[in-house]
Amino acid sequence: MAVNIEDIKKLRHMTGAGMMDCKNALAETGGDIDAAIEIIRKKGQAVAAKREDREAAEGCVLSAVKPGFAAIVALKCETDFVAKNESFRQLTKDILDAALAASAKSLDEVKALKIGDRTVEEKITDEIGKTGEKMELGAYEYVEAPSVAGYDHLGNKLATIIGLNMEGVDDYTGKEIAMQVAAMNPVAVDRDSVPQSIKDGEYTVAVEKTKAEQVHKAVEAAIRKAGINPNLVDSEDHIESNMAKGWLTQEEADKAREIAKTTAEAKAANLPEQMIKNIAQGRMNKFFKENCLMEQESHRDGKMTVGQYLESVKKGLAVVAFKRVNLNED
């Protein structure tokens, strides 16, 4: 039977599917709108199954807040073309609105939420049928606190949310801290909340780096004392290159190698343990200042830390939680 153009428009409005998909579905069902909708949905499921092994590296990340609760949703797709499509962005916003309204606490909970008569997961599958691309709910994060704020970076690939320990904090202050999280990517709120595994790993690196530096200094001093320029013999490649240029004799090269070997062994065996610990702890303090939000320099005023900035706004004001989602990193 001939398909009525008005029915095609109606089906397109109801499903968002392409004109030809709507026409074909109506032709297959003899003009039955409900049956045509089911065909289009099944097509989305079939496309989703076929695209399951594809990588969804693009997408849209949005944040939203309500009193005491903030959330981030990342909806992922395969191409930037689809990510910039208004219907894709609207679906991301619809999912976020549903999650915020429900104060959802997990990704699985968000997937089961209803948008109209469809679950979030079903709505994503429907969108896959329209675009032919793999899509997935890539991330969901939330923060609960007396005051909350969010920030969406230009391009919608990065969003942050933060929680503060007092009610009634002005929007400007909250957004400033959310922007700090976006710009400086802290590991934790403060040094006490840095995971122990990260602390242990950083301390191990700090100790090994300190030991290597002390050994290197001792080797440089010994080679210089022997009348050889340490810069000419700081690696095997440099030694070979400088010998070829006539800047270093074979005798000097052999002597430098021997000095480096014996000095390094002797120094490594006699490093002062307490000195190594002290220097390593200094490195850890630097790590905390660079990676703990409350200790970071404020991105607006390098003369103050974030903690000092918040204290200047209101005595005792502090960050209690933050979340950051970045499609370009994750």
| One-character DSSP codes across 10-75 | HHHHHH---HHHHHHHHHHTTT-HHHHHHHHHHHHHHHHHHTTTS---EEEEEEEEETTEEEEEEE
Q: What pLDDT is attached to residue 126?
A: 86
Domains, the chain, ordered by start: 5-50 (1.10.8.10), 58-186+318-326 (3.30.479.20), 196-289 (no CATH)
| Whole-number Cα distances in Å, 154 to 62, 97, 157, 326 | 11, 20, 8, 12
Question: Sign of the CA dihedral 243, 244, 247, 251?
Answer: positive
How does pLDDT run along the chain (330 residues), one tens digit per residue?
566 677 667 666 666 666 677 677 667 776 776 777 676 666 654 444 444 556 678 999 999 999 999 999 999 999 999 999 999 999 999 999 999 999 999 999 999 999 998 999 999 988 887 788 889 999 999 999 999 999 999 999 999 999 999 999 999 999 999 999 999 999 999 999 999 999 999 999 999 999 999 999 999 999 999 999 999 999 999 999 999 999 999 999 999 999 999 999 999 999 999 999 999 999 999 999 999 999 999 988 888 999 999 999 999 999 999 999 999 874
Which of 141, 147, 181 is CA-nearest to residue 164? 147
If one counts every other C-beta atom within 10 angstroms of the C-beta of residue 77, the result is: 27
| Whole-number Cα distances in Å, 212 to 205, 225, 227, 268 | 10, 20, 23, 8
d(CA 143, CA 20): 44
**DSSP line for 283-327:** HHHHHHHHHBGGGSBPSS-TTSBHHHHHHHHSTT--EEEEEEEET
Please tell me the pTM assigned to this model: 0.77
If one counts every other C-beta atom within 10 angstroms of the C-beta of residue 53, the result is: 7
